[in-house]
Amino acid sequence: MTQKKLIAGWEQALREAGDPLASEQEFAHLAERLTMVTMAGLTPSADAQAAGRRLGRMLADAHLTAPKAIGEALMVLARYAPDVGDVHREQQLVRMQGGLATGHAAAVQQRLLTQQESIHQASSAARDEVARALSESEARWRRLVDQAPVGIAVGDIEGNVIEVNASLQNMFGLTVDEMRAMKIQEYIHPEDGAAVWQQYADTASGVLEEFKAEKRFVRKDGEGIWTNLSVSLIRDSDDNPAFMVAVVEDITDRRLLQERLQHEATHDPLTGLPNRVLFLQHLDRAVADPGPDERVAVLFIDLDGFKFVNDSRGHIVGDRVLIAVAERLSEAALPSGAFVARLAGDEFVALLTGCSRDVAPMQVAEDLLAALKQPLKVTGQLPVQVGASVGVVELAAAGANSAEIMQAADLALHAAKEAGKGRVVEHDPQRKAGQLTRFQVAMQLPGLVERGELALVYQPLIRLSDGDLHSVEALLRWKHPTMGSLSPDMFIRIAEENAAILPIGRWVMDRACADLAVSDWPAVNINVSVRQLYSPQLLDDVRRTLDQAQLEPSRLRVEITESVVMNLDDPEPVAVLDSLIDMGVRLVMDDFGTGYSNLAALRRLPWHELKLAGTFLQSTKSGRPWSPIDQQILRTLVDLAHSLDLLVTAEGVETAEQDAQIREIGCDVAQGWFYATPEPLHPSSEVTAPRTTRPAPNQGDPSPVKDPTTSPTPVIGKPSQPRRPADTAPMNTIQVRR
């Protein structure tokens, strides 16, 4: 409401009041003064209570003491409320209304006292008239108080209730007599702070003129109400404390709304459990001021197979399952006093404090896990079975850090998942170091190609019929600036997860084809991952790479691992493989024989070659005889491949005995440390005479998916360099044992 409208509002209210004014000019002047006081009192720094009292006094001074006048004045302020716009100014407005009633009452009382003094000094002939005027004034004041929309009470400084209005009686559910029979101290609520009643005592003694507080009361029926309480001191003519006027505004609805919003902000809307915000608050308090020798434990719980529930039965059932899980966990946590919360999705967490003597966190975790082993009953559905994995971290609360505790619990949970799910794993600092290094690797993967830290080494594939070179396989290395040479098993799986495999795979293809173009090698084998097959750029990258290197497509051989073969029911990767074959690229099935899907995959695509899984030769290590079962399986697989006109490669050959065995079963090509170590390309690369000494056998990892010929997987954080014997030829050649 603008100032002009507010002036008009006051003028209208004064006209409705009906009390005479000296002149129209004085009438308008009073409306302007009332407007100025009103607007000044609503500013953030203003004392709205004092401004209201001034308004009351101004009305009283203008002889506007009728109940209708004060009612119209309160209505002017009420009509102003919709334009206030924020909670603070609304509170200012309420205080001003209370002050108006208080100020008007005080002014009227003062006027009455003055009138009484005048009457006392007047002649006895005028006593009846003075008494009548006094009675009318008191009645006018009583009507004003009774009609106020807020509760008003008047009491003496000894704590006796003298007068209360109808609004306050309705608010407390008490009659006037019941309220007068109660001392002010009987209105104390058990949850009242000492400061409230100290302020009351200071006001009664005259130290304070007024005080305000947000205070709870209890109705006669036992229901609690929240109020804004404003108490003002009224002094007598000698300036001594005489009365106190309390203005009480019922704010119960607003307070309940605030409490509901606070609950919603700190609790999960689906399960009703505390959410991440409230859990972290509890954890922060637990480590902020712990007792002597107090320990804290966090149990990180993640459901196993919950995605299958959502996918198979829908998200509505999934939500009901989460509700049932929350109930099970809460019930199972009661004996230990654990604080259970839902973090997100199917992740829950429990907090144990003071657990050094009374509670064993690992046992609590087992109890929580056991609570989920029984099928969950879901309304209108068959019972649902879900499992869970739990990561546990327990440590001294003193000096602990909430973020580090949560990180350790999360790492322990990942270890539980990797260990086979459905189990409890306790935090291990050594394992944490390895996982953190894995995290460090993940953080450094972006920009790996641009930083020039990748390198390729090549291992030959040898034709067993004549010992000539069939092709070379490109094997990836990361020349890490601080960890040394990292084999693919230390970063390729991570790269698959965060899509860094795409630029890495593109670099491998470009580098391998460029090296092939300047060498005498017949062909090069590169490994292609699942994510690369789903990349829309793969086919364009292959065409571009072959064109730049000026290579025949048949010299590029793409190795597809079993993990890709398992996805051949998906038409998208199959279409990409078909396009590669149509382009002239040769397709090699890697790790053949390790999965049930391989045989079915043979008829889905026109493969050119297949590699037998090196695991079939593992039984012959350390001088053990070759397993007859493995031997028969391999012979059958080789015969099957030959019947389909496929070339068969045996990988992982490390000994002369294994070389003889793969020749016996009819393999066409072989690869392994028995024949040559992986070497980088240098100018004038060629295949030279056989070595006189064979390098130490080794197991390897994928590049980018597998690498069957590198040195053993190093401890994370330590350099790993391929071993080369003393008689290894210069790095610009690849020596082969024939």
470 and 600 share one domain: yes
Question: Per the domain annotation, does 438 fall within a domain?
Answer: no
Question: Per the domain annotation, does 434 fall within a domain?
Answer: no
Tell me: pLDDT of 696 over 50.
Answer: no
Question: Per the domain annotation, does 433 fall within a domain?
Answer: no
What is the phi-psi region of residue 112: left when phi exceeds 0, alpha when psi lies from -120 to 50, beta otherwise? Answer: alpha
35 and 170 share one domain: no
Q: What is the pLDDT of residue 114?
A: 78
Tell me: pLDDT of 718 over 60.
Answer: no
The DSSP secondary structure of 114-181, one letter per residue, reads HHHHHHHHS-GGGHHHHHHHHHHHHHHHHHHHHT-SSEEEEEETTSBEEEE-HHHHHHHT--HHHHHT
141 and 154 share one domain: no
639 and 701 share one domain: yes
Tell which of 243, 260, 277 closes a domain: 260
pLDDT tens-digit series, residues 30-50: 888 888 888 888 887 888 888
Tell me: pLDDT of 209 over 60.
Answer: yes
Question: Per the domain annotation, does 168 fall within a domain?
Answer: yes
State the CATH number of the domain containing residue 240.
3.30.450.20
Q: What is the pLDDT of residue 218?
A: 86
The DSSP secondary structure of 297-351, one letter per residue, reads EEEEEEEESHHHHHHHH-HHHHHHHHHHHHHHHHHHHTTTT-EEEEEETTEEEEE
158 and 59 share one domain: no
3-state secondary structure of 572: helix
Q: What is the pLDDT of residue 705?
A: 37
113 and 201 share one domain: no
The number of helices, as runs of H, and strands, as runs of E, in the chain is: 25, 21
Question: Per the domain annotation, does 441 fall within a domain?
Answer: no
Q: What is the pLDDT of residue 276?
A: 92
**Mean pLDDT score of the chain:** 79
pLDDT tens-digit series, residues 363-406: 899 999 988 888 887 766 777 888 899 999 988 777 678 888 88
The DSSP secondary structure of 216-262, one letter per residue, reads EEE-TTS-EEEEEEEEEEEE-TTS-EEEEEEEEEE-HHHHHHHHHHH
Please give the residue that has the higher pLDDT: either 592 or 696: 592
Domain count across the chain: 4
666 and 731 share one domain: yes
352 and 331 share one domain: yes
Q: What is the pLDDT of residue 622?
A: 57
State the CATH number of the domain containing residue 475.
3.20.20.450
74 and 216 share one domain: no
685 and 627 share one domain: yes
Q: What is the pLDDT of residue 462?
A: 95
Share of the chain above pLDDT 90, in %: 20
In this structure, what are the phi and psi dihedrals at residue 475, rounded to the nearest 5 degrees?
Answer: -120, 130
Residue 614: count other Cβ atoms within 10 Å of its Cβ: 22
199 and 289 share one domain: no
Tell me: pLDDT of 526 over 80.
Answer: yes
Assess contact for 326 and 271: CB atoms under 8 A: yes
Lowest model confidence (mean pLDDT) among 546-550, 619-623, 702-706, 721-725: 721-725
Lowest model confidence (mean pLDDT) among 71-80, 561-570, 646-655: 561-570
pLDDT tens-digit series, residues 596-640: 445 666 767 778 998 987 777 766 665 667 778 878 888 888 998
Tell which of 379, 397, 427 closes a domain: 427
Lowest model confidence (mean pLDDT) among 196-200, 343-347, 544-548: 196-200
Give the structural domain span for 165.
150-260
Residue 370, CA distances (Å) to 148, 234, 353, 472, 720 in order: 63, 69, 22, 53, 43
pLDDT interval class at 727 (50, 70, 90): very low
Tell me: pLDDT of 694 over 50.
Answer: no
Spell out the residues 6+ positions from residue 90 whose beta carbon is closer than 8 angstroms to its own.
81, 84
Scanning the structure block, which residue is given the tokens 């404003």? 230
Dihedral in degrees, nearest 10, Cα atoms 465, 469, 470, 472: 150
User: In this structure, what DSSP letter does residue 567 have?
Assistant: T
405 and 519 share one domain: no
pLDDT tens-digit series, residues 153-163: 888 888 888 88
Question: Per the domain annotation, does 437 fall within a domain?
Answer: no
Tell me: pLDDT of 459 over 80.
Answer: yes
Tell me: pLDDT of 732 over 50.
Answer: no
Tell which of 129, 148, 167 closes a domain: 148
Lowest model confidence (mean pLDDT) among 428-432, 512-516, 648-652: 428-432
